[in-house]
Amino acid sequence: MLWQVDPTDAAPLYEQIASSVRRAVAEGELTDGERLPPAKHLAASLEVNLHTVLKAYQVLRDEGCLELRRGRGAVIIAKKPDAPDIGELISELVRSARAMGIPDMQLMALLVERMGNGHEN
Amino acid sequence: MLWQVDPTDAAPLYEQIASSVRRAVAEGELTDGERLPPAKHLAASLEVNLHTVLKAYQVLRDEGCLELRRGRGAVIIAKKPDAPDIGELISELVRSARAMGIPDMQLMALLVERMGNGHEN
DNA sequence: ACCTATTTGTCCGTATGTATG
DNA sequence: CCATACATACGGACAAATAGG
């Protein structure tokens, strides 16, 4: 992987790490489905704390660039031909609902209701 | 403020705190421009770590519900009249998913997965 | 202009929990 | 059952922006 960070840089370390991943994806060094090194290993390699790398991974996950799962690691999501816009719609829906104080369970109920009464499909 | 958290609850502490704020905003207990207690104070009040409260605040900031600034604190950003119509978003989501041949059950699964992103996997 | 207190931001360290394989 | 790896929570330290005297 051979990346490095600069502690004297104004940008936070986790942002530097996230940027490195973004650039690698953009340049095709990392492709869809590929696995990033375990946060622990990358942290040791960069000589930063484990949490700093995890923070970077979580930022990338929030951007939809990474899939994180316990015990499995971090998998690159370049772009799914399967669900191009749906993911974004869902994210916006959840974000809006939470911003309006609608509990997750209630949102699910609303979705189920909509699926049911819109049965002309 | 008089909130409380339950360490035995399955939901993470920071999510419980964030939910409390969302609810308070939704119910009008917290209005636009109002200031949340300093993370340090709320942490002491709830008997949790400072970082746990800060994490909750940052989650809310990412949702557009809070504005955080050093030295100033956490200010509520109540939703505008131009707040997105949840019902419209749901309808659009269901319509798009069906148009792409995504089964309702799978859409539900995607929604649940997206909701969990942040506390569970 | 200076200084100080406040408050969030980042980073480090440690420990424990939990899903995965 | 066991090892791996992310998730959460605790703790401490210092930096940086803000507010107020």
Residue extents of the structural domains in chain B: 13-76, 86-116
- Please name the member of A61, A70, A100 whose beta carbon is closest to the beta carbon of B86: A100
Q: What is the pLDDT of residue A79?
A: 67
Q: Give yes or no for residue B28 having a pLDDT over 50.
A: yes
Taking C1' of C9 and every protein CA, the nearest residue is B70
Give me the B residues in range 37-56 that sit within 7 A (CB) of strand C.
38-41, 50-51, 54
Q: List the one residue out of B88, B42, B80 whose CA is nearest residue A110.
A: B88
Q: Per-residue pLDDT tens for A65-118?
A: 999 999 999 999 876 555 457 888 888 888 888 877 788 888 898 998 888 654
The pTM of this model reads: 0.79
Residues of chain B with pLDDT > 90, as a percent, come to 57
pLDDT level of residue B117 (50, 70, 90 thresholds):
low
Q: Give yes or no for residue B119 having a pLDDT over 80.
A: no
Q: Report which residue type is found at A91.
A: S
Decide if B8 touches A, using CB distance below 8 A. Answer: no
Q: Per-residue pLDDT tens for A10-34?
A: 999 999 999 999 999 888 899 999 9
Q: Give the DSSP H or E segment for B33.
A: none
Task: Output the average pLDDT for chain B.
Answer: 88
Query: Three-state DSSP class for B28?
Result: coil
Q: What is the pLDDT of residue B31?
A: 93
Q: Per-residue pLDDT tens for B81-97?
A: 556 678 888 988 888 88
Neighbours of A121 (CB within 10 A): 9
Instruction: Compute the radius of gyration of chain A from its Cα atoms.
Output: 18
- When pLDDT is averaged across residues B73-84 and rounded to a whole number, the result is 78
- When pLDDT is averaged across residues B54-70 and rounded to a whole number, the result is 95
CA A28 from chain centre, in angstroms, equals: 18
Å separating the CA of residue A50 from the C1' of nucleotide C13: 10
Testing the interface with B: which of A98, A107, A119 to mutate, by most B Cβ within 10 A?
A98
Is the Cβ–Cβ distance between A95 and A51 less than 8 Å? no
Å separating the CA of residue B31 from the C1' of nucleotide D19: 23
Q: What is the pLDDT of residue B14?
A: 98
A14-22 contact pairs (CB < 8 A, 24+): A14/A52, A14/A53, A14/A55, A14/A56, A14/A59, A15/A56, A15/A59, A17/A42, A17/A46, A17/A48, A17/A52, A17/A53, A17/A56, A18/A56, A18/A59, A18/A60, A21/A56, A21/A60, A21/A65, A21/A66, A22/A60, A22/A65
Neighbours of B92 (CB within 10 A): 15
pLDDT level of residue A39 (50, 70, 90 thresholds):
very high
Q: What is the pLDDT of residue B2?
A: 66
Cβ of A76 near strand C (distance < 7 A): no
Question: What is the Cα–Cα distance from B40 to A58, expressed in whole angstroms?
Answer: 24
Is the Cβ–Cβ distance between B36 and B66 less than 8 Å? yes
Is the Cβ–Cβ distance between B21 and B65 less than 8 Å? yes
Q: Which sign does the torsion angle of CA A39, A43, A46, A51 carry?
A: positive
pLDDT level of residue A121 (50, 70, 90 thresholds):
very low
Strands A35-36 and A73-76: antiparallel
Q: Give the DSSP H or E segment for B35.
A: strand B35-36
Shortest Cα distance, chain B CAs vs residue A41, angstroms: 22
Of the listed ranges A17-26, B53-62, B107-116, the one predicted with least confidence: B107-116
Q: Report which residue type is found at A105.
A: M
Q: In what order do the strands lie in the sheet with B73-76?
A: B35-36, B73-76, B66-69
CATH code linked to domain A13-76: 1.10.10.10
> Is B65 exposed, middle or buried (CB count within 10 Å of its CB: 0-12, 13-18, 19+)?
buried
